[in-house]
């Protein structure tokens, strides 16, 4: 018998997403080709037909998010994926899903922008993902993988959180973790104690009519609905914050970075440690809910935090909000389309400047 | 005593919000009658669109998903693929289907999705106050074509039933009207045909129903009803444009 604990694969991050979706029980995928995420629809177009599933290459990103909306409304696990400009097109549907309290997984293997931008690694979609990219004032859960392993594990988690909280969940990756090959141990499994989807439309049968909608015109209905959504976001903040803390216990300077940038920062931190500088890393894994309390706790000691991003400053705003005026917040970033990633030496220099 | 006329089981016993003389109510009735006759109410999932048609769930006693403006055929695609045993239809107006949702209707039809689309064409955006629609007749005055639709600048009205009939994936496409007893009887017959295609798993079926909008046309109910049978039906010809079982 195969020992699953020792099963190691060597795959691309995008493939890991597709594999995790299948393992999570997702049998419905709707997408549209766009670099650098096309491995995901390619993989699922190959596999889903053998699993009694459905793969549709939609006419547009707009159509694919709405196919996801329709499938999710019936209670099945379903997914779409795209990259930045395509994710912009999906925002209308994401807002409707958030308003209708529909689960669903959206993967953004982001590229650089604005506009058509470029295809190199960037973290310029942080605001769009975390602040509710569409109209109406809502949030979705945003998970930021930093490795192929996390592309798998967080995709699995995305399906669970979507079902538990009845809301869209985004895996916000970039071309580094999407296109890179790394060892993967595909051990994550879906949660087993998920709530029943009694709200899902299946045909009313002999029961009461079920309606999935986001229109609330009755007196006070919409306000009550928005408070309900707000409470859900507060629950998420209380229960679902995830992060990686690396050598933060004795740190004099805290570095904050997410996704692939955090890996380069980690190397720079190890170099700094070799030189006797006490530097630690806090890597938010959930960008929404943002681990505010953890930032407050860690910076209570360090009094300083250096935020590093592959943009001109987005997550840094949430760090500033989290630490208020209790800690000094520095920033180093490279705008989208820099054409290359920062080197560990480049980040070490910034660490020294801020130490 | 035998009861020969009753409210369809699939139609709720409530008052509608529709204006006097509007044809939505009649079309709702015909669709729910057909639903009863095929005994599909319990396995039906309706997809509501944006416009006067959005309150579908208030009048139809069925499970309903509300779609963003124009996206009902994409939502219905997701619903039907996930639950192939369900009976799925969309109910859309002309602004929704023939303007903002053009890509979604063309491609759902072209894929031959096993769904039925009820398209209500009243040549205007009713809910938002009577603006120019893709189906507004040339010369027709609306709140955004105050000098009348100008074909050179605004194009000519789109004939969706004929356009969709060109697509291989479409099994059935017809245009009906509900402005006279004769037309109502025929509309019911065509709606049943459209439903039969889906019940038998034979692909995409499309009904375009001409409808009066007296409020936004600035007419009384009777004059609006007459316009459907004259000016509208002259341009939007009633008939069956695709019927694959007869081919």
Residue B216: per-residue pLDDT: 97
Q: Which B residues, 25 through 44, put their C-beta within 8 Å of a C-beta on chain A?
A: 41-44
A206 CA to chain B: closest CA distance, Å? 7
| Whether pLDDT at A105 is above 90 | yes
Sketch out chain B's domains with CATH numbers.
Answer: 24-246 (3.40.50.970)
Q: Are A137 and A233 in contact (CB under 8 A)?
A: no
| Confidence category of residue A7, pLDDT binned at 50, 70, 90 | confident
Q: Give the mean model confidence (pLDDT) for residues A189-215.
A: 96
ipTM over 0.85: yes
Does the beta carbon of B113 lie under 8 angstroms from any beta carbon of chain A? no
Nearest CA in chain B to A92: B68
B59-94 per-position pLDDT tens digit: 999 999 999 999 999 999 999 999 999 999 999 999
CB atoms B66 and A71 under 8 Å: no
Of the candidates A64, A66, A215, the beta carbon closest to that of B54 is on A215
A232-272 per-position pLDDT tens digit: 999 999 999 999 999 999 999 999 999 999 999 999 999 99
Mean pLDDT computed over every residue of chain B = 97
| Confidence category of residue A5, pLDDT binned at 50, 70, 90 | low
pLDDT above 90 coverage of chain A, percent? 94
| Whether pLDDT at A2 is above 90 | no
CB atoms A74 and B79 under 8 Å: yes
Closest C-alpha among B129, B104, B115, B95 to residue B207:
B115
Count of A-B CB contacts under 8 Å: 134
Does the beta carbon of B74 lie under 8 angstroms from any beta carbon of chain A? yes
Residues of A with CB under 8 A from a CB of B: 28, 30, 54, 56, 58-60, 62-64, 66-76, 78, 92-93, 96, 100, 201-206, 209-215
Residue A337: per-residue pLDDT: 79
Q: With contacts defined as CB-CB under 8 Å, which chain A residues touch B74?
A: 58, 62-64, 66-67, 70
Does the beta carbon of B199 lie under 8 angstroms from any beta carbon of chain A? no
> Which pTM was predicted?
0.97
Nearest CA in chain A to B100: A62
Sketch out chain A's domains with CATH numbers.
Answer: 7-187+230-237 (3.40.50.970), 243-354 (3.40.50.920)
Q: With contacts defined as CB-CB under 8 Å, which chain B residues touch A204?
A: 41-42, 44, 61-63
A145-193 per-position pLDDT tens digit: 999 999 999 999 999 999 999 999 999 999 999 999 999 999 999 999 9
Residue A1: per-residue pLDDT: 43
Q: Give the mean model confidence (pLDDT) for residues B19-41.
A: 98
CB atoms B66 and A212 under 8 Å: yes
Q: Give the mean model confidence (pLDDT) for residues B211-230.
A: 98
């Amino acid at each position: 018998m195969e020992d699953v604990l020792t099963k190691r694969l060597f795959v691309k991050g995008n493939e890991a997403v597709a594999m995790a979706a299948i393992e999570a029980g997702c049998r419905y995928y709707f997408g549209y080709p766009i670099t650098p995420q096309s491995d995901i629809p390619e993989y699922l177009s190959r596999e889903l037909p053998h699993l009694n599933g459905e793969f549709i290459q939609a006419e547009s990103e707009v159509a694919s998010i709405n196919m996801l909306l329709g499938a999710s409304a019936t209670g099945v696990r379903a997914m779409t994926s795209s990259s930045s400009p395509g994710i912009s097109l999906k925002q209308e549907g994401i807002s409707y899903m958030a308003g209708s309290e529909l689960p669903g997984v959206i993967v953004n293997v982001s590229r650089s922008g604005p506009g058509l931008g470029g295809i190199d690694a960037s973290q310029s979609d942080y605001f769009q993902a975390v602040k509710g990219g569409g109209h109406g004032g809502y949030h979705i859960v945003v998970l930021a993988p930093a490795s192929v392993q996390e592309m798998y594990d967080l995709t699995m988690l995305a399906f669970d959180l979507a079902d538990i909280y009845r809301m869209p969940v985004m895996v916000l990756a970039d071309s580094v973790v999407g296109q890179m090959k790394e060892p993967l141990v595909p051990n994550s499994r879906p949660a087993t104690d998920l709530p029943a989807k009694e709200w899902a439309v299946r045909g009313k049968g002999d029961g009461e009519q079920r309606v999935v909608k986001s229109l609330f015109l009755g007196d006070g209905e919409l306000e009550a609905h928005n408070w309900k959504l707000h409470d859900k976001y507060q629950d998420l903040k209380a229960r679902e914050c995830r992060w990686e803390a690396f050598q933060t216990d004795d740190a004099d300077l805290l570095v904050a970075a997410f996704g692939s940038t955090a890996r380069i920062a980690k190397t720079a931190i190890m170099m700094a440690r070799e030189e006797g500088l006490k530097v630690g890393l806090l890597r938010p894994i959930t960008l929404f809910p943002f681990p505010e309390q953890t930032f407050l706790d860690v910076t209570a000691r360090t009094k300083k935090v250096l935020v590093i991003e592959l943009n001109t400053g987005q997550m840094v705003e949430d760090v500033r909000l989290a630490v208020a005026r209790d800690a000094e917040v520095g920033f180093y970033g490279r705008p989208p389309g820099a054409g290359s990633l920062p080197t560990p030496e480049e980040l070490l220099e910034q660490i020294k400047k801020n130490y | 005593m035998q009861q020969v006329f009753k409210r369809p089981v699939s139609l709720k016993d409530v008052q509608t919000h529709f204006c006097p003389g509007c044809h939505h109510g009649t079309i709702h009735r015909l669709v729910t009658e057909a639903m009863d006759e095929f005994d599909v109410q319990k396995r039906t999932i309706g997809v509501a669109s944006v416009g006067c048609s959005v309150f579908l769930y208030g009048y139809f006693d069925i499970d309903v998903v509300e779609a963003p403006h124009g996206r009902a055929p994409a939502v219905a695609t997701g619903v039907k693929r996930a639950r192939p045993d369900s009976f799925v239809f969309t109910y859309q107006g002309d602004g929704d289907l023939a303007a903002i949702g053009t890509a979604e209707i063309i491609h759902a039809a072209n894929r031959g999705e096993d769904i039925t689309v009820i398209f209500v064409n009243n040549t205007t955006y009713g809910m938002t106050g009577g603006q120019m629609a893709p189906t507004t007749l040339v010369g027709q005055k609306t709140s955004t074509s105050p000098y009348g639709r100008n074909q050179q600048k605004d194009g000519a009205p789109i004939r969706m039933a004929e356009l969709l009939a060109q697509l291989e994936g479409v099994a059935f496409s017809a245009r009906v009207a509900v402005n006279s007893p004769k037309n109502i009887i025929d509309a019911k017959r065509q709606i049943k045909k459209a439903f039969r295609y889906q019940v038998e798993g034979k692909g995409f079926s499309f009904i375009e129903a001409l409808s009066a909008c007296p409020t936004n046309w600035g007419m009384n109910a009777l004059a609006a009803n007459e316009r459907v049978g004259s000016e509208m039906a002259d341009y939007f010809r009633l008939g069956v444009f695709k019927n694959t079982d007869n081919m």
